[in-house]
Every structure is written in structure tokens, then in C-alpha cells.
């Protein structure tokens, strides 16, 4: 049975998350020899994430606190924020720095399937948890796509991989049928995984510009196909929604 979890409890859990954020961001700051502003930027991004999470928290959960699965998702958000903040310091990133970003990205992507599995295993699945998971995925893809762009390997079009989800949401304000619920799709999950893997491959220092270009093109092509398939399904089923 779902229990009411107050926003105060969510706030306390996010405060605990600050300790994990501190460990990860300070380690990144030290290893990559970044300026002190990096730590401030990470803190600001996490604070924004926390305020949004508290505001949209539905108030119910089937576990104590926000739940184990949601904690894993928050951990992925922390890793994504640590990665995202390096965008502002790309001029300081050398090969070793990109390798560190790749390691953090692999960990974040590896945890992607764990939160969903835990929710199913503990029978604590929720639409909110799925939504949170999807938004963290979208944020990580946006951060990685921008990093690939600023690395100079691929031109600006690579950022469309990260922007596609947000463009889809914006289009939903114009065409409301795009807001309808989509059925679970392994194709969609697989394409999302391909995006993350493809972007990480592009970031690997040993990947040449031409190789990164080809990987990025394949990734963007598969993503466009997936969104077109979802849009078609939503359009065909708009009257029954």
C-alpha cells in the first residue's frame, strides 16, 4: 500500500544526496584540475534539480522515503550533473579528462536499467518513477551530445540527439495528442541505449573525427526513426485516448 511521503522527507533525502555529489564533484575537480567555479556550477545544477523534484513529487510512495529505485535514479542524476558541468570547462579537458567523463558516463548508463529492475522486483513501479527515469535519461543525453559538439569532433547537429526529447515535449503543447501515454516499447528502450553508447564512443579520445561522425549519424538516424514511429502511433490512436 502506498504511504504518504512528505516533501520534507524528500528534501532530507536530497540533502543526503549532496554528500554523494560532493564526493563525485570534488574528485572530478581535483583529477581534471578544473577551476573552483566547477564546484559552484555543480551545486547550482543539483539545487535546481532538487527544487524541481520537490515541487513535482506526488506525495505517495510504496517504500520508506522516496524508494530504492528512485534513489538509484537520483544517483544517476547526480552523475549526469557532474558530467554536465564539465561542459563549462571543456577548454581544460585533455585526453585524461575525457576518459574520466567516459567512465562516469558508463556508470550512469549502466545504472539506467537497475532502477527500473529494482522497481519491478520490489513491486514499487510508478508512473512518477518512470517519468523521473526518462527525464534523467534525456538530461544525460543532452549533456553528452553537447560535450561531443564542444569537443570539436562533430558539428552542432549532434546536439539534436539531446534536444529531440525536449522538442517532442514542446510539440505536445501545439498538438495535444503527443501528450498521450505511449505503450511500453523495447524498441524505444533499445534506441535510448544506442544514443548513450554512441555518444560515449564519440567522446572516447581515441575515436577519430570521421569515426565519431559516422557513429553520431547512425545514432541520430535511429532516434529520428523511433520518434517518428511513436508520433505515428500517437496520431493513429489519438481518437481512442
Structure confidence by residue, pLDDT tens digits, 119-135: 777 777 777 888 898 89
Overall average pLDDT of the 65-83 stretch = 90
Tell me, what's the pLDDT at 65?
Answer: 67
Tell me, what's the pLDDT at 232?
Answer: 92
Tell me, what's the pLDDT at 237?
Answer: 87
The CATH number of whichever domain residue 196 belongs to comes to 1.20.120
Tell me, what's the pLDDT at 1?
Answer: 44
- Show the domain range for 24: 3-236
Number of domains in the chain: 1
Residue 239: C-alpha distances to residues 173, 177, 180 (Å): 17, 9, 11
Q: Does any domain span residue 241?
A: no
Tell me, what's the pLDDT at 126?
Answer: 79
pLDDT tens sequence across 145-157: 999 999 888 999 9
Tell me, what's the pLDDT at 181?
Answer: 87
Tell me, what's the pLDDT at 64?
Answer: 59
Nearest by Cα to 141 from 167, 172, 177: 167
Overall average pLDDT of the 66-72 stretch = 85
Let me know: does 181 contact 201? Beta carbons within 8 Å. Answer: no
- Helix-, strand-, coil-residue percentages of the chain, each rounded to 5: 80, 0, 20
pLDDT tens sequence across 29-51: 999 999 999 999 999 999 999 99
Overall average pLDDT of the 196-223 stretch = 93
Let me know: does 79 contact 108? Beta carbons within 8 Å. Answer: yes
Q: Does any domain span residue 213?
A: yes
Q: Does any domain span residue 203?
A: yes
Overall average pLDDT of the 168-197 stretch = 90
Amino acid at each position: 500500500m502506498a504511504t504518504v511521503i512528505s516533501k520534507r522527507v524528500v528534501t532530507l533525502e536530497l540533502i543526503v544526496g549532496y554528500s554523494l555529489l560532493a564526493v563525485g564533484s570534488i574528485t572530478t575537480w581535483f583529477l581534471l584540475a578544473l577551476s573552483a567555479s566547477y564546484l559552484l556550477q555543480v551545486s547550482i545544477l543539483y539545487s535546481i534539480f532538487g527544487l524541481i523534484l520537490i515541487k513535482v513529487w506526488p506525495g505517495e510512495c510504496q517504500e520508506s522515503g522516496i524508494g530504492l529505485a528512485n534513489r538509484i535514479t537520483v544517483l544517476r542524476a547526480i552523475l549526469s550533473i557532474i558530467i554536465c558541468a564539465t561542459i563549462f570547462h571543456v577548454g581544460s579537458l585533455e585526453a585524461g579528462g575525457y576518459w574520466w567523463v567516459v567512465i562516469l558516463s558508463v556508470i550512469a548508463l549502466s545504472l539506467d536499467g537497475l532502477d527500473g529492475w529494482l522497481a519491478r522486483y520490489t513491486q514499487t513501479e510508478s508512473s512518477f518513477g518512470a517519468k523521473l527515469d526518462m527525464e534523467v535519461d534525456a538530461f544525460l543525453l543532452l549533456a553528452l551530445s553537447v560535450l561531443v559538439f564542444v569537443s570539436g569532433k562533430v558539428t552542432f547537429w549532434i546536439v539534436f540527439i539531446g534536444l529531440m526529447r525536449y522538442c517532442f515535449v514542446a510539440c505536445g503543447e501545439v498538438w495535444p495528442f503527443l501528450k498521450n501515454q505511449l505503450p511500453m516499447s523495447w524498441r524505444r528502450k533499445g534506441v535510448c541505449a544506442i544514443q548513450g553508447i554512441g555518444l560515449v564512443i564519440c567522446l572516447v579520445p581515441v575515436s577519430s573525427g570521421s569515426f565519431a561522425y559516422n557513429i553520431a549519424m547512425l545514432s541520430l538516424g535511429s532516434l529520428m526513426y523511433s520518434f517518428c514511429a511513436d508520433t505515428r502511433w500517437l496520431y493513429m490512436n489519438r481518437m481512442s485516448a
